[in-house]
Amino acid sequence: MKRFALLLVLAISFSCYAISPLQNKSNHVGVVVIDWTHAETLLALGIEPLGIAQKQDYAAWVKEPKIPDHVVDLGLRTQPNLEIIRELSPNKIFISPMFSALSPQLAKIAKVKEIGLYAQGEVNLLAMESMTRVLASEVGVEASAEQLIKQTRNYINTLKQKVPANYPPVVIVQFMDANHLRVFGKNSLYKAAINALGVKSAWTGVTNQWGFSLIAIDELITIEGQVIVVEPLPVGTKQALVDNQLWQYIRTKSAKPVLTIPAIWSFGALPSLARFGALFVDAISGQQLINQGHR
């Protein structure tokens, strides 16, 4: 009963943050957005873009804040529909450095503003706050940026109080197939989130600009830390892992159980960081209480 009550409190507090974007009187500012990091941030600031790329996939990966139904789907992020964008007549188009190759074509339609995060070195809470301020200044809602930053910091601090003192380092992974994983560390949203909660990352190896490195499953044995698996699992991987003796060994040898967290946009900003923090605390709190109840 106590575990249920704790998870209910977490769910309510998280829900209040995730589905309640800030209110702006002029929330329609005539912009379109290619990158989901910009999309989630603008929506959290109370700004509704005219169009966002790959709405359906955003709903599966980013989830919150939700995209209003009337916001137009621009097609693929790598190849947005230029005709649709032209018909929307935006005054500004936001892209990240990852999609800079689109700039020449998009610039024929409207002013293109490139704002980076994951291509600019260490990604942490301060870097996400800085990007939020830059993006907000482009649409004239600087006060909302400060409000969102304060709201996120307060929320993370609330979550931090629910993390047991001296919680051991964790290794955060995402399966590519049954034998290969992404392991997240420096420059990742996941590390930024757990560090803000007072938890260390067990992976101290090299990572790319997106904050992960590709490893074979047997390398997990050499990493001292609780394993956190971020969903989804590729098709066929769940069953393959049942028959994978190495993975079963990893699951049983650890002092703390392997935990699973629902899909999170791993290349996001403040909204995704807050969502991951909530689900991380949810997972470790449930695990802790279950263990205490079975001793």
SS3 (DSSP) at 195: helix
pLDDT at position 286: 78
Provide the residue count of the chain.
Answer: 295
pLDDT at 32: 97
pLDDT score for 21: 57
Which tokens is 282 given? 């949810």
Per-residue model confidence (pLDDT) at position 285:
87
Q: CA separation (Å) from 145 to 70, 99, 130, 245?
A: 24, 24, 9, 49
Contacts for 161 with CB less than 8 Å, ≥ 6 apart: none
Q: 3-state DSSP helix/strand/coil percent for the chain, to nearest 5?
A: 45, 15, 40
Question: For residues 158 and 13, is the Cβ–Cβ distance under 8 A?
Answer: yes
Average pLDDT for runs of 10 along the chain of length 295:
41 42 64 97 96 95 93 96 97 94 96 87 88 96 96 95 94 95 95 96 91 94 92 91 90 83 93 96 72 34
Per-residue confidence (pLDDT) for residue 31, from 0 to 100: 97
Q: What is the pLDDT of residues 28-46, one digit of tens each?
A: 689 999 999 999 999 999 9
> What tokens appear for 45 in the block?
């600031």
Amino acid 20: pLDDT? 55
**DSSP states of 199-256 as a string?**
--BS--S---TTSEEEEEGGGGGG--SEEEEESPPPTTHHHHHHT-HHHHHHHHHSSS
Could you give all domains of the chain from N- to C-terminal order, each with its CATH number? 2-158 (3.40.50.1980), 164-293 (3.40.50.1980)
For residue 189, the model assigns a pLDDT of 95
**pLDDT for 176:** 95
Element (H, E) at 11: helix 2-18
Tokens describing residue 204: 């101290």
